[in-house]
């Protein structure tokens, strides 16, 4: 979601709260540009299985053969004024499904495992995150500072593994300034017709 902006640089990540320290393993593609403003970095190319031009698909799958129950590391977080990036390392075959709501973004993962854990006061855009084990995998909840919808407040992209790693990276940008401006499809524009009420000059009868 959002329009392409300036490229990401290997800037030192800026922690917002001591209760949510940044991971030392952040890579240049994990870190938001240090330039002022909330313009997100350009969208990385789509991986196999993703539709080009739709970086914020609500569901997808990491390439590779599924390895059920692989541990999910703690999310890596990078911040910039008005924008926060959360990076989840997904093993091969892991599936994700995103469910936006008024309270934040829920990411349902299958093919991974994790103990219950959480962090508070991460940034203005992410008030908290938590891991909740489920029978199928792990549910990651990102509580946001402002409401998100399917087309606003966030964008996500599955990024190819780094050299020497088999883990794809699900990079989630959160900012109230982000919006998906791509035109709606004809199906999405369909509005259910409301049947017309018959015209009548008579007043309703209340019983």
Question: For the chain, how many structural domains are there in total?
Answer: 1
Nearest Cα neighbor of 4 from 33, 42, 53, 35 is: 42
- Residue 21 binned pLDDT confidence (cut-offs 50, 70, 90): very low
| Burial tier of 180 (Cβ tally within 10 Å: 0-12, 13-18, 19+) | middle
Per-residue pLDDT tens over the stretch 138-182 = 999 999 999 999 889 999 999 999 899 999 999 999 999 988 766
Q: Supply the range of the domain harboring residue 33.
A: 28-38+57-180
Rounded CA-CA distance 156/170 in Å is 7
Per-residue pLDDT tens over the stretch 35-91 = 434 444 444 444 444 444 444 568 999 999 988 889 999 999 999 999 999 999 999
pLDDT of residue 69: 86
Q: Which are the contacts of 165, defined by CB distance < 8 A and separation ≥ 6?
A: none
78 with 31: CB under 8 angstroms? yes
Rounded CA-CA distance 150/184 in Å is 12
In a domain, 47, yes or no: no
What's 160's domain CATH number?
Answer: 2.60.40.3500
In a domain, 186, yes or no: no
In a domain, 142, yes or no: yes
């Amino acid at each position: 979601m959002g329009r392409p902006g300036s490229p990401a640089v290997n800037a030192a990540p800026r922690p917002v709260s001591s209760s949510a320290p940044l991971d030392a393993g952040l890579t240049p593609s994990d870190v938001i540009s240090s330039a002022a403003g909330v313009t997100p970095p350009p969208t990385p190319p789509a991986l196999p299985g993703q539709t080009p031009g739709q970086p914020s698909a609500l569901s997808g799958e990491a390439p590779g053969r599924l390895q059920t129950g692989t541990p999910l590391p703690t999310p890596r977080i990078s911040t910039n004024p008005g924008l926060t990036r959360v990076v989840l390392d997904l093993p091969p075959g892991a599936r994700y499904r995103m469910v936006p709501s008024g309270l934040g973004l829920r990411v349902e993962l299958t093919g991974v495992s994790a103990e219950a854990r959480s962090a508070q006061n991460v940034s203005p855009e992410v008030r908290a995150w938590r891991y909740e084990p489920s029978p199928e995998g792990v549910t990651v909840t990102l509580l946001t500072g402002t409401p998100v919808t399917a087309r606003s407040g966030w964008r996500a992209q599955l990024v190819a593994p780094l050299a020497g790693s088999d883990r794809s990276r699900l990079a989630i940008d959160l900012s109230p300034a982000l919006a998906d401006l791509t035109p709606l499809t004809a199906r999405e524009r369909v509005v259910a017709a409301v049947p017309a009420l018959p015209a009548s000059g008579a007043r309703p009868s209340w019983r």
